[in-house]
Amino acid sequence: MELSKRITGLTGGGSDGWGILYAARALEAKGQYVANLTIGEHDIRTQDIILDAMHAAALGGHTGYASVPGTDGLRHSVAQRITQRTGVKTEPENVLITPGGQAALFTAHMAVLDPGDRALFVDPYYATYPGTIRGAGGVPVPIAARSEDGFQLGTDAIDNVGADATSLLINSPNNPTGAVYSSETLHAISEACRRYDLWLISDEVYDTQVWDGTHISPRSLSGMADRTLVVGSLSKSHAMTGSRLGWIIGPEDVIEHAANLATHTTYGVPGYIQDAGEFALAQGSALENEIAAPFRRRRQIVLDTLGRQQIVKSVPAQGAMYVMLDIRATGLDGESFASALLAEEAIAVMPGESFGASAAGHIRVAMTLPDDAFSEAFARVIAFATARANAA
């Protein structure tokens, strides 16, 4: 029996970029300790107070079908948070609750793409982006951000392909580069979206993790609220990755159609999990800052360690839980560097190439080990690169 081209072609073939992680797991299975700096997930679990709220909601009976677009309470809380953080008046009707940011990314593309429409996304990119676009029937078109520009997106990249495209997906703070788009970058992107009549899909799941610069939501820029769909999530901000709780913010009619899609796919998000999310948001920025604090500390460890040497160049590490390192001085590409680092030092990092051609010659380090273990492993990454560069 033949499967659909949509499902067999989803990942686009080739390596899925996680070879290093699988190799690291194989070593771990043999009993070897591996310093794992690959995965974008906190080294802490969801806080007990949030789990208590979830438990209470479930025991209280919120275990039946929940309202498909989201509970009134959570939609209201998200709308209020977005209004406060961006200054754009946002109503519950502008919010659709989804099972995580990933489902929001898919839904947003489903809402704006017809089959065969060209959908722009920025290279280096988060691993699921091209497959998400293909799944929604679109044709993924990468546009390059350059290491030399700190991975800020230049509009020349959009100018080359904008006229034939339907949408542009951006992500700031960025996974994998750690870039936070400047006001100048976002104004230029917004202008290009208006010039080429593009939908802007803005993935802001790392919006609470900004170390340098300010997070600006492009939906707040003039003329953008009607053409911007914002993707958000509690995964990163509240260490709730496994709860699968996210949202799309957009014009009311888009949200209505997106809710129809939810009715025919997910049928919504469990009510007790939404109640826990509402509780988590009610804790305000104090809890968000507490969850973000370890990454802020570890980013400082990165800066201090890098400041003591000249071989490895860091791309400005402005936000999110990652740093990109330019390791071209070692003479190795990202894949060879990551393989050798795992074999010789038992440290796993992601090769830049797994995030697209623009990150070749780089590695991505996730700051997701406890401070002492992270500091020790990061120093060994730099020592390894220095030794390689000196031997080159």
Binding site for ligand PMP (CB under 6 A): 40, 100-102, 126, 171, 175, 203, 205, 233, 235, 241, 246
HSE-up of 304 (CA within 13 Å, CB side)? Answer: 10
**Minimum distance of ligand PMP from residue 128's CB (angstroms):** 7
- For the bound state, the minimum distance from the C-beta of residue 241 to ligand PMP, rounded and expressed in Å, comes to 5
Location of structure tokens 């390689």: 388
In the bound state with ligand PMP, the residue whose beta carbon lies nearer, of 105 and 385, is 105
Beta-ladder partners of 313: 326
Can you tell me whether residue 170 is helix, strand or coil? strand
- Nearby residues of 169 by Cβ (< 8 Å), 6 or more positions away: 105, 109, 119, 120, 121, 122, 129, 133, 201, 203
Of the pair 40, 294, the CB lying nearest ligand PMP is at 40
Find the shortest distance in angstroms from Cβ 238 to ligand PMP: 11
Q: CB-wise, 100 or 162, nearer to ligand PMP?
A: 100
Largest separation between any pair of C-alpha atoms in the chain:
65
Q: Which is nearer to ligand PMP, 235 or 330 (CB)?
A: 235
Task: Estimate to the nearest angstrom the gap between the alpha carbon of 90 and the chain centroid.
Answer: 23
Query: By C-beta, is 190 or 233 nearer to ligand PMP?
Result: 233
Q: Which residues pair with 140 in a beta bridge?
A: 119
Rounded Cα–Cα distance for residues 36 and 377 (Å): 9
In the complex with ligand PMP, the residue whose CB is nearer, 86 or 243, is 243
Q: How many CB atoms lie within 10 A of CB 266?
A: 15
In the bound complex, what is the minimum distance in angstroms from residue 104's beta carbon to ligand PMP? Answer: 7
Measured CA to CA, the distance from residue 207 to residue 276 in angstroms comes to 20
Taking the complex as a whole, how short is the minimal distance between the CB of residue 122 and ligand PMP, in angstroms?
A: 11
Q: Give the number of residues written for the chain.
A: 392
Minimum Å gap between C-beta 57 and ligand PMP is: 20
